Amino acid sequence: MNFKEIKTLKDKIMCGYQITRAEALELSKSGHIEALYYSANQLRAKFCGFRFEMCSMFNIVNGVCEEDCHWCPLSKLATIDYAAYQTFELDKVIERVSELHGKGVKRIELSAVHSSLTDEQLDEAINYYNAISAKCDIGLCASLGTLTLPQLQRLKAKTKVTRYHCNIETSERYYPKVCTTNDIHEKYRTLQDAAKAGFEICSGGIIGMGETMEDRIDLALKLRELGVNSISLNILFAFNGTPFETHQILGSQEILTTFALFRFINPRAQIRFARGRSQIKIIEKEALQAGINASAVGEILVAAKSTDIDNDIQVFKSEGFIL
């Protein structure tokens, strides 16, 4: 697509049009990348304004996982012991959540390494959420695997959790190349059930696992189909001891183009930096002007080191966002 065609497509989206797969593929091949990024930023401003949401995450159920997710250092395929990633005690979680909230973090997500939880583990998570709610008025999110509909309904009824997160990782075509022990359709079902239970839904994927731009477009289209209003875009961190340890980080232009395409396909969604963000600091400001309007910050995660939240705040504000 040339400059004029990109602008025309952007204007149509601003009037309610949904971009097609064929159009997204044409966009991805455009040599007019500055026009693509600028238009993506205009779409973000039109549909989302300048509000920027910061969220943070804590693991509450940890340990080696039974799944074979090729990117993950805690999967059963990993050959290096990452036991150093601890499960945080409740009082420490509450202390850190209060600190982050005071700095402007709007949401906290509690996550579990495992693909699903027993009812007893879910009860423990519910206790964590209620303890946090009693001490801090912060938005609550859950990332607890492929819970059943009754479990999701119980979580909704017994806590103040408003958003449920379950990454679908990549396209349906490419998913068997990154995980064989978990069915991507179960993830779809979980997101659909979470919406039925009354949650906002959050999902996304990882880029840089060997997938093509076409796979990323299909991921973005699936998120649109599922009605996901909060999209997390992770950059693969190639951990030693995992099947993906030799993968090289994507080039800057490919990453920025991916962000912009996600904005064209999901113009109203929050599109957030997530894991692996430390690897793209050199293009972070460009990404903030190419469709990104949310970020995980100060997080304590299995797959990424904690970020400097004070520096993050300075960067986000310098790019014109309101926290």
**Calpha distance 208→87 (Å, rounded):** 28
| Nearest-angstrom CA–CA distance, 323 and 107 | 12
pLDDT digits (tens, 9 = 90+) for 60-106: 766 667 889 999 888 888 887 665 455 567 888 888 889 889 989 99
Residue 229 CB partners (closer than 8 Å, separation 6+):
200, 201, 202, 268, 269, 270
Stretch among 3-17, 184-198, 237-251 having the lowest mean pLDDT: 237-251
Contact 10, 41 (CB under 8 A): no
Residue 114 lies in a domain: yes
Confidence of residue 204 (pLDDT cuts 50, 70, 90): very high
> Domain span at residue 162?
50-318
- CA 90 – CA 79 distance, rounded (Å): 30
93-107, 120-134, 166-180, 287-301, range with the lowest pLDDT: 287-301
When comparing pLDDT for 131 and 302, which is higher? 131
CA distance 62 to 83: 9
Amino acid at position 17, single letter: Y
Q: Which residues contact 34 (CB under 8 A, 6 or more apart)?
A: none
Q: What is the pLDDT of residue 299?
A: 57
| Residue 2 · residue 30 · CB < 8 Å | yes
Distance (Å, rounded) from C-alpha 320 to C-alpha 323?
Answer: 10
pTM comes to 0.94
Q: Is residue 299 part of a domain?
A: yes
Number of domains in the chain: 1
Burial class (CB in 10 A: 0-12, 13-18, 19+), 49: exposed
Residue 297 lies in a domain: yes
Q: How many helices (H) and strands (E) does the chain have?
A: 11, 8
Q: What is the pLDDT of residue 59?
A: 80
6 assigned to some structural domain = no
End-to-end Cα spacing for the chain: 35
Q: Say which residue, 237 or 41, is predicted with more confidence.
A: 41
CATH, residue 180:
3.20.20.70
Tell me the percentage of the chain whose pLDDT exceeds 90.
Answer: 72
Surface-to-core class of residue 281, CB atoms within 10 Å of its CB (0-12 exposed, 13-18 middle, 19+ buried): exposed
Looking at per-residue confidence, does 203 or 276 come out higher? 203
For 160-301, strand residue ranges (E) read 161-165, 200-207, 230-235, 270-273, 294-296
Coil vs helix vs strand at 315: helix
Return d(Cα 296, Cα 270) in angstroms, integer: 12
* Backbone angles phi and psi of 111, in degrees to 5: -130, 160
| Domain annotation covers residue 7 | no
40 falls in which pLDDT band (50, 70, 90)? very high
pLDDT above 50: residue 301: no
Domain assignment present for residue 323? The answer is: no
In a domain, 62, yes or no: yes
Whether residue 13 lies inside any domain: the answer is: no
